[in-house]
Amino acid sequence: MALRTLSRLHSFLRRRTRGVGVFERIVAYAILWWILTEGDVRSLAFGIPAIAAAALINPFAPGGPRAWRLARGGPFFAVFAWLSVRSAVDVAARVIRPARPIDPAVVDYPWRLQSGSARQFMANLINLMPGTLTIDPGEQLLVLHVLGGKERALSGIRRLEERVAGLFGEEIPAHE
Amino acid sequence: MTALAWVGASLVALGVPFFLLGTLGLLRFPDVFTRLHALAKADNVGLGLVCFGLGLHSGSLAHALKLALIWLLMVIASAVGAGLVARAAIARGVKPWGV
Amino acid sequence: MNELFIAIVLVLLGNITVGLWRVMRGPTAADRMLAAETFSTSTVAIVLILATVTGRGALVDVALVFALLAALAVVTFVSRAWPDIGEETARGGGGPKP
């Protein structure tokens, strides 16, 4: 019994230790440990074994999500932060006006992104963008709930999709 | 009291209206989907301002990064959560208002 | 400065109390869940501000755990706690469109 568990664990570890480099994982977990302990040097007595043990296992299955293009992460975050603030102000303005100017619509949007992880990322990102909410990230169509101003929201989604494609290193067809 | 601490405290104060307006949206908006819009957007920006402000106020990089991590976790939780609730609501036959 | 932070904490607590109205009213289980979700966001903000005011770093870890639990709460609700399909059809609306 114990032997079988051990051999399963061994084959699991052998499968998972391939792929993304151990070195990158050690660096990433060390930074995370530094943040979580707020730079407390004494905690490294626990930290070094913990980081080493965690780095043994690759959290991404082989052939899993492709790595982000890190260089594009910074500008993407800046755009994200700006759009989040705009979307919060937009929804706040709709809430606060006595007339409550909302005109909801349910819209189908044909995907241009191909890979599953890029679609997943975008479907969740949409919930934080001005006036849009994902109802169903389907196989062919992305079903959206729009709070008002359908055309404007859709053109925002198109631009967002192009940015996500850039982040994941995907080529997508231009909008007709 | 340094200037940085004051800027941080003002950012924290600036986050409060977003929390209030998010709750107002929760009370005023007509159905679960429109309420999801109000929450997912307003509360995250409110919490973002609070975390960013407290990070500046503390003046420590490690502390600021930890607050940023907490904010990131909440943003992921609420973005994914909003999508899950919307999808489950449609599947359970809740009709969007005004469509 | 601490007075300002305490005032902000009180405002956020008041905000949660007002949000309780939506928990009572519903009408669907999801509306109640949403209200509970805002509570978790406000709670994280309150705990973080109190961590700064009191100087207790451990409260930041409390907020971190709350943030992790917030994700679990929604997933659990959607997959387990919401009544079965079809039950909400009659109650989902928010009145006629003006």
ipTM of the complex: 0.88
pLDDT of residue A90: 84
- Taking the Cβ of residue C2 and every Cβ of chain B, the question of whether any pair is shorter than 8 Å is answered with no
pTM of the entire predicted model: 0.84
Write out pLDDT tens, residues B67-85: 999 999 999 888 888 888 8
Instruction: Retrieve residue A85's tokens.
Output: 């603030």
pLDDT of residue C96: 45
**Cross-chain CB nearest to B40 (options A92, A95, A128):** A128
Among residues A159, C70, A143, A118, which one has the least CA distance to residue B33? A143
Please name the residue of chain A whose CA is at the shortest distance from the CA of residue B65: A35
pLDDT of residue B33: 87
Quick one: residue A149, left, alpha or beta (phi over 0 = left, psi -120 to 50 = alpha)? left
Write out pLDDT tens, residues C53-90: 998 888 999 999 999 888 888 888 877 766 655 455 44
Please name the residue of chain C whose CA is at the shortest distance from the CA of residue B30: C94
Among residues A20, A10, A112, A110, which one has the least CA distance to residue A63? A20
pLDDT of residue C42: 92
CB distance B74 to C67 below 8 Å = yes
Measured between beta carbons, the chain A residues lying within 8 angstroms of B36 are: 127, 133, 145
Domain assignments of chain C as residue spans, ordered by start: 2-80
B neighbour chains, 3+ CB pairs within 8 Å? A, C
Domain assignments of chain A as residue spans, ordered by start: 2-56, 70-167
Measured between beta carbons, the chain B residues lying within 8 angstroms of A37 are: 62
Stretches in chain A below the pLDDT threshold 70: 1, 12-20, 60-71, 175-176
**Cross-chain CB nearest to C35 (options B26, B93, B95):** B26
| C27 upstream amide cis, omega within 30 of 0 | yes
